[in-house]
Amino acid sequence: MEEEKRKIVIPSQLLGDIEHNKSGRGTFVEKGKIYSEILGVLSQNSDYINVIPLKGRYDPIVKDFVIGIIEEPMASSWLVDINAAYPALLHVNEVPWDVEFGETEKFLNHGDSIMAKVLQVDQEKKLQITLNDRNLYKIKGGQIINVEPSKVPRIIGKKGSMISLLKKYTKCRIFVGQNGRIWIDGEEENIKKVIDTIKKIENESLSYGLTNKIENLLKKDAKDVH
């Protein structure tokens, strides 16, 4: 199965019927037949037929780590853009500082970036995020780049294999938000290397054995430097 070419599917494409398969993510059922609802890559997991999106907005899931940009400080909360369809609310109770009423902009102002965790997603898709967790804070320095949210699992790799490779060979500090924003800090040329590599991963995200390929590439580069 590993050798098979990944199949691109488009909305309304027939994928199977409910007698033999189950309808998974990115699909819908009509009159006993399973169809794709998005442009994506077909993946079959035991009985389930899934379509993994190629493009599209970030769909927030509780406990995801994301990178947000403050849109608007309000009296006792902030509105944060986390690349989802809706702005997320960050309440003063959810930050590690002691914020007086109406003094929110002293701590986080328009344009500031934060690492955050998705706290709550309700039925109306109202979003809440929090800073009360380990390793979550306001971002100072470094650089943020954007990738397609659907490509994030490839950039992290299996059990973080890809991202630890990147960290090992470039000595950069990297934080990958599930919403497709990646923060990188380190020496300037190393940051550039990370960005180039991530772009490469994004472009070739559908190929097999990518982690090995990237490792070889990074090794070669590292040799050239020393």
Interface residues toward another protein, by CB under 8 A: 5-8, 10-12, 26, 28, 30, 35, 37-41, 53-57, 85-87, 123-125, 150, 203-204, 206-210, 213
Cβ proximity to another protein: between 24 and 40 the closer is 40
Could you tell me where the beta strands, DSSP code E, fall in 32-84? 33-36, 40-45, 48-53, 65-73, 77-81
What is the identity of the amino acid at 205? S
Q: Work out how close the CB of 53 gets to another protein at its nearest, in angstroms, rounded to a whole number.
A: 5
Cβ proximity to another protein: between 117 and 151 the closer is 151
Q: Work out how close the CB of 98 gets to another protein at its nearest, in angstroms, rounded to a whole number.
A: 31
Give CA–CA dist 209/218, Å, rounded.
Answer: 15
In terms of phi and psi (left: phi > 0; alpha: psi -120 to 50; beta: otherwise), the region of 12 is: left
Tell me the torsion sign for CA atoms 67, 184, 194, 157. Answer: negative
Cβ proximity to another protein: between 9 and 114 the closer is 9
Q: Work out how close the CB of 161 gets to another protein at its nearest, in angstroms, rounded to a whole number.
A: 17
Q: Work out how close the CB of 29 gets to another protein at its nearest, in angstroms, rounded to a whole number.
A: 11
What is the identity of the amino acid at 36? S
Cβ proximity to another protein: between 139 and 206 the closer is 206
Give CA–CA dist 6/22, Å, rounded.
Answer: 20
